[in-house]
Chains A and B, each alone.
Chain A
Amino acid sequence: MPTTKATAGTAGESAAKPTIIGQLANPTRFLSLTEAVLPWLISLAAACLAVGVYLAFFVAPADYQQGDSVRIMFIHVPAAWLAMFCYSLMAVAALGTLVWRHPLADVAAKAAAPLGAAFTLLALFTGSVWGKPMWGTWWVWDARLTSVLVLFIMYLGLIALWRSFDDPGRAGRVAAILTLVGFINIPIIKFSVDWWNTLHQPASVVRLDGPTIHPTMLWPLLIMAVGFTLSFMALHFGAMRAEIFRRRVRTAQIMIAQQRAPAAASASAVTPVAESAVSGPR
């Protein structure tokens, strides 16, 4: 019965395999592992961001064309990288949900969606703020910006779909299908928007990140990208932990409701919880 597997907090003991992914299949083990890892991750992320910001402002030179506005690149590019990285992560998690039935996969995907939306919005905003002095307007229908905007709408649609189902297991599997359909679509959207852009825009759009980049700019960019990625991981682990607790709360609420109304419990559709409630904890 696949329904029971997706309920984090109850599944896992039997699914434990010697691999790391298998080890993580147990939500309790995941909680204790992340509890140990999170302080290190947060410190490392904060250190990277601090060094990155210092390099971005005091070491990296101003661009001879763009002036100091080029310093926006050091947050814009990592945010855009995370926007795409997060969707790829969700696509892998979607496979984990649908194919391997990994009990934490849909927890990971659900926790990642709002983070992805936030970083996509950040990429759009910083791009717009960078574009204003460069292009003279807040928004141009440039191929890259437009693709990211469509990605943002896809994130919002996924979040909305997640929130409209009561059962987290079913929500996770339905959202996984949409995630994969969207993942197949992203390259097609990118290709279409590029095509559309070459038809409608003059080719004189300022390229934001040229292929040649000086080392004094490359290093701060790399360190900022690492800092952003580590921050994302820390936030993602944190959001996953909250999601696991939320599902335990839900399970406990159903249990209590069934204890108070045992007659209704036998007719309930949520069998795994019903069993444990009937056997009577305590």
Chain B
Amino acid sequence: MTHLGFILAAYGATAAVFTALIIWVVRDTREQKRKLRQLEADGAVRRSAQVKR
């Protein structure tokens, strides 16, 4: 296979970008969910959730 190094670099970079984006999204979601749970435990209740009570 010709230009193997270039092909590997391109596909490797693509894999790295995909992985980084997935990690970023998953971590961010987990972090925000965790913060939200903590705040709700501290007594902050959203209005929409309040109506249902």
Which A residues are within 8 Å of any B CB, using their own CB? 9-10, 12-13, 28, 53, 62, 67-69, 71-72, 75-76, 79, 114-115, 118-119, 121-122, 125-126, 129-130, 132-133, 231, 235, 238-239, 241-242, 245-246, 248-249, 251-253, 255-256, 259, 276, 281-282
Contact = CB atoms under 8 A, between A and B. Distances in A.
A231 B25 contact: no
Given A72-B10, A235-B25, A238-B26, A252 B44 contact: yes
A130 B10 contact: yes
A248 B46 contact: yes
A245 B29 contact: yes
Contact of B2 (A62, A114, A115): A62
B43 A121 contact: no
B40 A252 contact: yes
Interface of B: 1-4, 6-7, 9-11, 13-14, 17-18, 20-22, 24-26, 28-29, 32-33, 35-36, 39-40, 42-48, 50
B25 A129 contact: no
B6 A72 contact: yes
A131 B39 CA distance: 51
Given A71-B7, A126-B10, A281 B43 contact: yes
Contacts of B11: 53, 72, 75
B14 A126 contact: yes
A10 B44 CA distance: 13
A249 B33 CA distance: 8
- Please classify the interface of chain B as helix (H, G, I), strand (E, B), loop, or mixed, using the class held by over half of its residues: helix
Contact of A249 (B18, B21, B32, B47): B32
B6 A133 contact: yes
A103 B34 CA distance: 24
A129 B20 CA distance: 20
Contact of A255 (B1, B44, B48): B44
Nearest to B29: A242
B50 to A, nearest CB: 6
Contact of B35 (A115, A249, A276): A249
B21 A235 contact: yes
Contacts of A9: 46, 48
